[in-house]
Amino acid sequence: MYNEQKELYLYITAYYPDLLTSEERATHGFHTYSQADNYLTRIAIEQILAKVDKAVIERNLSEGIDKFEQKILSKLSDKLKHLFINRCPQCGKIARTNKAKQCKFCGNDWH
Ligand SMILES: [Zn+2]
């Protein structure tokens, strides 16, 4: 199911990471890598924790990832109006990547 907040948050963290502070980026990375437990994700988490205090990340995530996403998006709400967000011209949902020309939700193709 389409979740505008989550799609927008993931798009921003992927294509406009500079809009986040280093602590916010670390929180995003920590949460993302925590979703899978393997050698590479453990290394990635170690690298994050070498730079940012775990207590900061835990505080950011204390109310859950949804609340964190919400805070990031509301902080950036003015900037978001001026950013290129690749949306499907048919249904208006956010495309998988900034260059995608096909919608993963309605199947529209705008090549
Ligand atoms: Zn669409």
Cα(33) to ligand 1 centroid in Å equals 29
Mean pLDDT across the chain, nearest whole number? 97
Question: What pLDDT, on the 0 to 100 scale, is given for residue 11?
Answer: 97
Kindly report whether the global pTM for this prediction surpasses the value 0.85. Answer: yes
Mean pLDDT of 6-32: 97
CA proximity to 12, closest of 94, 102, 107, 106 = 94
Percentage with pLDDT > 90 across the chain: 99
**Beta-bridge partners for 87:** 94
Cα(110) to ligand 1 centroid in Å equals 10
**Beta-bridge partners for 9:** none
